[in-house]
Structures are given as structure tokens and as C-alpha cells.
């Protein structure tokens, strides 16, 4: 199938590069606000390829004259057939086949929603097998795409913004950081991301890691120390790359992260602060109900409410001096794949779903992961995990040729921890409330609607919340 031949509505007109910085949208002929671009490169690369036009616009933040980000809304996924997938995403599949030296291929299987997708607030996860027509080669893939039936909820689920952020992260941010890391002999480098093949608007294609032995943790159970230590180390390796890059190329790092300074939830709050203040009030009420029968935890919740409101009022703009690393941003068990040496021993970690990523303090990731994933027994040993995290940071910074005491000393690390751990505590409560509920109870409402859903004091969520505040209250809230 030839996309340009079979779908004339996708035929781009000639891009008019006149050197003024004003050019024309290839589908609607409206003005695009582009930076000055070398005409020969732009015409030869973009003129006859709508996918590349779209990706170029996405990464370079190109907007039309109305201020809207230039995106070609032609993505659909639902209960679709293999033929429909081939038709819609042929350019992405062709790229996969080329990389794996497959000349002719077909897509195996039909696509349907699953219970796992019920937990995915911003799209549909589809497992796909690309098979060689004459041979045995095959590639197991994951297509992550927005569903057409989500149009009704786009107003309160930032689907478009989420996909924009994740595409930029894979196409630009992580690509740059991984290429930088390859210039050094890092004995234990950051490798915890899936292989990425490309994207179109609101759809990404990557390796299916489950075929390689990775699996999701049972999110109803908190994690033990072995699992948490592996997770902490992976975040340390991720953050060490950013710290080293920023230390060696401070101006390039500022340029790299300028489009991800805040996650889309923070961007939306700036436009509607009353709604997000209401959400915070609901979260505090939910916390109080969850711990109502535990005096120690209840006292900690009251302190948490007071401290968090003060913290957020002072730091919601993400202070420049604290923006040190690229953060994963959504550090709960559903976004962390684990590979085992045998049935019990965790060996590798892979971080998925980067839609809430941003540039920020590394403690945003570390505290979020610790408070969302860890058991009470592990929370009591959290100092051991903090020391482990910083040891990995130190080791990798040295291998990057950086001096840890100058880049991110232990005292600076603890200064960040004492300031930002409460951010992870708030995010953990929200995520625990959302994830510790049966998929059929979640419905199609907003995240706030799910947070508001009633629960029993004996529920798993209530017990986890009690453990969290009973431990954290004694350990850090009293010291703030």
C-alpha cells in the first residue's frame, strides 16, 4: 500500500520555504511558524512523507498561525484487524522490517482490548507480531496508540499532550542521552528502556519486552527489598547520565530539556489552578479516611497536608536551580518491567510509559518509586536504598569523568531529598488510589473521579496508606 497514492487527503502540497520563517501547512495551507530551515534539506526530507513532516513538526514544536501544534490527526486503534494495522502503520512496520533485514512481511493476529488496557488512561497497548513471508524471522512488537473512542474524555485526560511528550522523549531526549553515554566506558550503564522503532501522531512502536522475559509486577502487592534495590539502581543510572551531560555540556543540556521543563499535569494546572486545588483537597480527605483507625498515621497525614501545600506553593514552577535530570515521572509498578534470573531473583529493570516525564530534581522519581512500590518492611530500610542510589550515582559520574562532590554530592542529594520527598508521597497516594481498584470500577471518567470513589477502611489501599504514613511520618515528616 502506498499511503500517498491511496489516501489523497494525506498528499502534502509543496512546502514553501521562503527564508522568512513563515511556511505553509501541507494539508490545510495555513501558515506554520517554523524556524528558518535549509530549503534543500527540508524539501527533500519532508515534501513527500507526511509521517516525517509530522515528526519534524512534533520535535521542533512547529505550530500553525493559530498557535496549535501541527499534528496530523489520522491515528485510530480499537478492535481492528491486521489489515487495518498494516494500512495505517505501514511506514512504521516497513522501518522495523528494514532494521531486521526482512524483505517481505505480514502482520499476524487481530487486535482487541484487554483487561490490562483498562488501566491505561492514555491509550491502548496492542501486541503485534511482524513475520517474514518466506522464512522464519519474526519481530514481536508493542503498538501504543490512542483509541478513537477516547474523544469524549480528551477534555479531562490529556491524551494528545501525553503522546506528544512520550514521542519527544524517545525521539530526541533519550536518544541524545544514550548516544552521549556510549562515548564512555560505563561498567553499569543505563539500559532500562525498550527498543524504539518510531511514531506517528498518538502512536508509538517498540519492542515487546514480555517476549524477552520481562513481566509486570502484581501491583496489588508491595515490593520486597531485592526488587526495590534494582529499581533504585536503574533510576540512579538514568539520572547519572543527565547529571554528567549537564556537567559537561550545561548549555546543550538546557537546550535539550527546554521543551520538558514541566509535565503536562503541571502545565494544565497553570491553566486551571482551582481544579487541581480541589484535587489536592480530595486527596487529603482520602488519606485521612484511609488512616482514620491509626493514630500515628493520622497525625502524619495532618502534617503532610500542611507541609505539602506549603511545598507546592513554593515549588510548583520547578525552580531552575533544582532542574538537574530527565525524570521518568510515572514510577509505579505498572510502568516498571522486571526480568528474572529464575523465578524469584530480579535481574533487570525496564522503564516504560514516559508520558509524564519532565526535567526536574531526581528525587521526584526516587521518592515516587519508593513510596508507591515498597512494602512497609522496605520503607523501614529506606535509608539503605538512599545510600545505594547515591553510590551508583557516584560510581557512574566518576566513569563519565565527573567529580561527584562537585556535580551531586551526598549532602546535596540529601538536601534535595528533604525538600522533594513530599512530592513523591503525594503522587504515591494518588497512584495507589487509582491502581488499587478493579479495572471495571474505574469507568471512563477523570482521574479525579477515580480518586473520589469510596473504599472500605479495611481495603488494600487503606492498609498501604497506613503503612506509608506510619513509616514516613516517624522517619521524615517530623523533621521537615
* Selection from 389, 413, 393, 414 nearest residue 241 by Cα: 393
Task: Look at residue 71 in the predicted model and tell me its pLDDT.
Answer: 36
Residue 112 has pLDDT above 80, yes or no: no
Residue 356 has pLDDT above 90, yes or no: yes
Mean local confidence (pLDDT), 154-168: 80
pLDDT category, 137, cuts 50, 70, 90?
A: very high
pLDDT category, 456, cuts 50, 70, 90?
A: confident
Considering 68-72, 245-249, 475-479, the range whose residues carry the highest mean pLDDT is 245-249
Mean local confidence (pLDDT), 71-97: 66
Task: Look at residue 151 in the predicted model and tell me its pLDDT.
Answer: 53
Enumerate residues 6+ apart whose C-beta is below 8 A from 53: 12, 15, 26, 46, 72
Query: Contact 435/465 with Cβ under 8 angstroms?
Result: no
Summary mean pLDDT of the chain: 81
User: Which of 66-70, 108-112, 152-156 is predicted with the least confidence, judged by mean pLDDT?
Assistant: 66-70
Task: Look at residue 161 in the predicted model and tell me its pLDDT.
Answer: 85
The grid coordinates listed for 385 are 536504598
Residue 145 has pLDDT above 80, yes or no: yes
Query: Contact 328/238 with Cβ under 8 angstroms?
Result: yes
Q: What are the φ and ψ backbone dihedral angles of 374, each rounded to 5 degrees?
A: -80, 150
Task: Look at residue 202 in the predicted model and tell me its pLDDT.
Answer: 85
**Could you tell me what percent of the chain has a pLDDT over 90?**
59
Greater model confidence, 465 or 26: 465
**Could you tell me what percent of the chain has a pLDDT over 70?**
75
Q: Which helix (H) or strand (E) holds 57?
A: helix 50-59
Distance from C-alpha of 223 to C-alpha of 432, rounded to nearest angstrom:
13
pLDDT category, 16, cuts 50, 70, 90?
A: very low
Residue 12 has pLDDT above 60, yes or no: no
Distance from C-alpha of 215 to C-alpha of 209, rounded to nearest angstrom:
8
Greater model confidence, 52 or 419: 419
Greater model confidence, 175 or 75: 175
Task: Look at residue 208 in the predicted model and tell me its pLDDT.
Answer: 94
Mean local confidence (pLDDT), 52-75: 41
The grid coordinates listed for 161 are 499532550
Q: Rg of the chain's alpha carbons, rounded to an integer? A: 23
How many residues does this entry show for the chain?
480
Tell me the per-residue pLDDT of 375-414, one tens digit each, with 9 for 90 and over: 999 999 999 999 999 999 999 999 999 999 999 999 999 9
Residue 466 has pLDDT above 80, yes or no: yes
* Selection from 130, 160, 156 nearest residue 145 by Cα: 160
Give the CB-side neighbour count of residue 406, counting CA atoms within 13 A: 9
Tell me the per-residue pLDDT of 191-201, one tens digit each, with 9 for 90 and over: 999 999 999 87
Residue 24 has pLDDT above 70, yes or no: no
User: Which of 47-51, 180-184, 216-220, 255-259 is predicted with the least confidence, judged by mean pLDDT?
Assistant: 47-51
Residue 40 has pLDDT above 80, yes or no: no
Residue 333 has pLDDT above 70, yes or no: yes
Distance of CA 100 to the CA centre of its chain: 27
Mean local confidence (pLDDT), 154-162: 71
Q: Which helix (H) or strand (E) holds 95?
A: helix 82-99
User: Which of 24-28, 264-268, 366-370 is predicted with the least confidence, judged by mean pLDDT?
Assistant: 24-28
Residue 11 has pLDDT above 90, yes or no: no
Q: In what order do the strands lie in the sheet with 214-216?
A: 214-216, 336-340, 346-351
Residue 17 has pLDDT above 50, yes or no: no
Instruction: Tell me the domains of the chain and their CATH numbers.
Output: 3-64 (no CATH), 220-479 (3.90.1200)
Residue 66 has pLDDT above 50, yes or no: no
Greater model confidence, 475 or 360: 360
Amino acid at each position: 500500500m502506498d499511503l500517498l497514492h491511496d489516501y489523497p487527503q494525506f498528499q502534502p502540497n509543496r512546502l514553501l520555504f521562503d527564508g522568512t520563517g513563515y511556511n505553509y501547512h501541507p494539508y490545510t495551507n495555513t501558515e506554520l511558524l517554523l524556524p528558518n530551515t535549509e530549503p534543500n534539506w527540508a524539501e527533500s526530507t519532508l515534501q513527500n512523507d507526511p509521517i516525517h513532516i509530522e515528526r519534524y513538526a512534533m520535535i521542533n514544536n512547529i505550530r500553525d498561525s493559530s498557535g496549535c501544534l501541527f499534528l496530523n490527526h489520522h491515528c485510530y486503534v480499537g478492535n481492528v484487524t491486521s489489515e487495518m494495522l498494516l494500512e495505517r502503520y505501514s511506514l512504521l512496520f516497513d522501518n522495523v522490517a528494514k532494521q531486521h533485514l526482512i524483505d517481505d512481511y505480514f502482520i499476524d493476529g487481530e487486535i482487541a482490548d484487554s483487561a490490562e488496557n483498562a488501566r491505561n488512561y492514555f491509550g491502548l497497548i496492542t501486541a503485534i507480531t511482524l513475520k517474514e513471508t518466506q522464512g522464519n524471522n519474526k519481530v514481536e512488537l508493542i503498538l501504543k496508540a490512542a483509541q478513537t473512542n477516547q474523544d469524549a474524555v480528551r477534555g479531562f485526560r490529556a491524551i494528545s499532550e501525553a503522546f506528544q511528550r512520550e514521542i519527544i522523549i524517545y525521539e530526541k531526549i533519550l536518544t541524545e542521552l544514550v548516544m552521549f553515554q556510549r562515548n564512555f566506558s560505563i561498567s553499569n550503564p543505563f539500559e532500562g528502556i525498550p527498543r524504539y522503532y518510531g511514531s506517528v501522531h498518538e502512536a508509538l512502536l517498540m519492542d515487546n519486552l514480555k517476549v524477552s522475559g520481562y513481566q509486570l509486577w502484581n501491583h496489588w502487592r508491595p515490593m520486597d527489598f531485592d526488587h526495590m534495590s534494582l529499581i533504585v539502581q536503574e533510576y540512579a543510572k538514568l539520572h547519572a547520565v543527565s547529571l554528567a551531560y549537564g556537567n559537561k555540556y550545561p548549555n546543550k543540556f538546557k537546550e535539550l530539556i527546554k521543551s520538558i521543563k514541566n509535565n503536562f499535569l503541571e502545565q494544565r494546572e497553570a491553566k486551571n489552578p482551582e481544579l487541581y486545588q480541589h484535587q489536592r483537597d480530595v486527596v487529603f480527605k482520602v488519606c485521612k479516611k484511609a488512616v482514620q483507625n491509626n493514630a500515628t498515621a493520622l497525625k502524619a497525614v495532618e502534617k503532610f497536608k500542611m507541609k505539602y501545600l506549603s511545598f507546592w506553593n513554593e515549588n510548583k514552577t520547578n525552580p531552575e536551580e533544582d532542574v538537574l535530570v530527565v525524570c521518568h515521572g510515572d514510577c509505579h509498578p505498572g510502568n516498571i518491567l522486571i526480568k528474572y534470573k529464575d523465578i524469584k531473583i530480579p535481574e533487570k529493570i525496564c522503564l516504560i510509559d514516559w508520558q509524564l516525564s519532565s526535567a526536574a530534581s531526581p528525587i521526584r522519581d526516587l521518592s515516587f518509586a519508593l513510596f508507591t512500590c515498597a512494602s512497609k518492611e522496605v520503607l523501614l530500610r529506606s535509608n539503605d536504598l538512599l545510600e545505594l542510589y547515591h553510590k551508583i550515582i557516584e560510581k557512574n559520574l566518576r566513569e563519565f569523568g565527573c567529580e561527584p562532590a562537585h556535580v551531586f554530592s551526598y549532602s546535596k542529594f540529601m538536601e534535595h531529598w528533604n525538600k522533594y520527598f513530599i512530592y513523591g508521597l503525594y503522587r504515591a497516594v494518588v497512584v495507589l488510589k487509582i491502581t488499587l481498584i478493579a479495572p471495571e470500577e474505574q469507568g471512563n471518567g477523570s482521574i479525579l473521579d477515580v480518586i473520589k470513589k469510596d473504599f472500605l477502611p479495611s481495603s488494600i489501599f487503606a492498609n498501604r496508606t497506613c503503612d506509608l504514613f506510619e513509616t514516613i511520618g516517624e522517619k521524615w515528616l517530623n523533621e521537615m
